[in-house]
Structure 1
Amino acid sequence: MKMPQRCKKRAKRLPVNLLRKRQREQRHIQGIKKKRKTRRPKIDIERRAHQELVSATEAELKKILQSNDVLSDIQYDCEPEELLGEIALAEDNATTIYIERDGLSTLTVVLSQTNPTISNLKRAIELTARVQNKRELRERYESRRKRRRLSEETGNKSDSNDDSGVNAANDKVATNQKRQQQQKRQQQQVQTTTAWLMANRSTGEFIHSTTRCGHLHRTTVSWRFLWRAYMLIDVQSKNPLYDEDGRKLLIDCGIENGTTLRFCKREIYLKRRRQK
């Protein structure tokens, strides 16, 4: 049955809850069931094929680079800026700058430009830090996989060599030893995390935010906020690098090839001022 025009006009004037109630009653009377949307399964075939292709190309690149003596020191996931820096180093046209960080390894930033500016230096620092963090995470993941494989292999060997009738006392001793080892590892992790937190509180990068719940997490550095709150300073001359004008040359600021810089906190926070 279709609703007459007057009933439709009256229904429009009703509040939302009463209107919904009326619609439900009409559905119940007419026996019309609301069709539920069926969830379609996500097809990951293309994604898997793409990942397999990427892994195969990476493995082939790795073999090619390792076989060549000249290109053996270049990573297979090298960024274009890194390649330009390597070319500039080979041609003796690059400027290398070292960035010291509290509790972390020093960054070696290679600038391929003939007359690099402050903005070029900042972008290079961001890129090198991001790439180094990505490689560290990848190495950690690969080492974890190797450990798991070794543990599985040793476990399978021990199961095959052991006799079927193993005493329950030996099992209890093994479980107690495992528990003690886990407790020791947890204590060591807590100690290391506390030491890292104490060391990295004064650093320019927010690395102390990566240690949560007693284990490491992926770093999420907000470089936009970092450049507002921190600035670079020369370690030898103690002269700060005033980076209000990003187009200023590094030579004019007194920064030459082989200088070491360090993060320090700004006296005046740059708030929402856009950096050029």
Structure 2
Amino acid sequence: MQICRTVFDLRAAVARFRASGEGVGLVTTMGALHDGHMALVSEARAAHDRVVATIFVNPTQFGEAADLETYPRTEARDLEHLEAAGIDAVLIPEIGEIYPEGDETVVETTRLANILHGAVRPGHFRGVTTVVAKLFNICQPDAAYFGEKDYQQLHVIKRMVRDLHMPLKIRGVPTVREPDGLAMSSRNSRLTEEDRAAAPILARALDAAQSMGAATVEDLARTIRDTIAGEPRATLKGLDIVRLPDFTPATGRLSAPVGIMISAEFGSGDNHVLLIDQREVHP
């Protein structure tokens, strides 16, 4: 596995793969890797001759400086996982390599980035699309792999790729969960023991909604709110039930699949952790 610290080195590695006629898959990460990331790598590994990963804690997608500072960084362990999984090259750049001095260009999906979870976290998706566009341009893969847990992010990136005619496929990979149902996330490591025990309430709320069958959207929302309200350590921050694929608000009785996205905060003050989860529910 080649460890690249610069754009030049990563592009040189990919050029060698291309010179041999090999296809390339990409998995972008912010490190602190877990089995969810490894599922992305596995999907990419099965579909491509070569797989490239990136580890970059992107400052432009964090709304709070404290959140950026406390984001877990485990480079040595991450590299062990990537090498064991058969990654061919990994880019681990410094901030100045991705955002050179005087950088002023951003990429944004103007509607999708500012609704739903984007309204809870202003500027977040603009940071995501900007860095992902840069990484796509650096690597120029045939396909890139993203988890379905970050449901709105997945659709934001798909829209960006479509709108900008980027020559790659975006592949969504099902959410990987802990045995108690909690969606795997690098943020889970920041939970206190008590909050970790409470966090599966998100999955239980989605399970309760999914089990309702031919209900109305309003019934689904009420069930989710009531379930999370029963967990005193969780504060519901966002609940959106949308039509697919346009992400417009859904109302009334379910007659077609909907996407449900929830976000909840655990802890308080500087120690709070925002977790998200999602589910597609069919009538």
TM bin, normalised by shorter chain, reads under 0.3
- TM norm structure 2: 0.21
- TM norm structure 1: 0.21
User: In proportion to residue count, which structure has more strand?
Assistant: 2
User: In proportion to residue count, which structure has more helix?
Assistant: 1
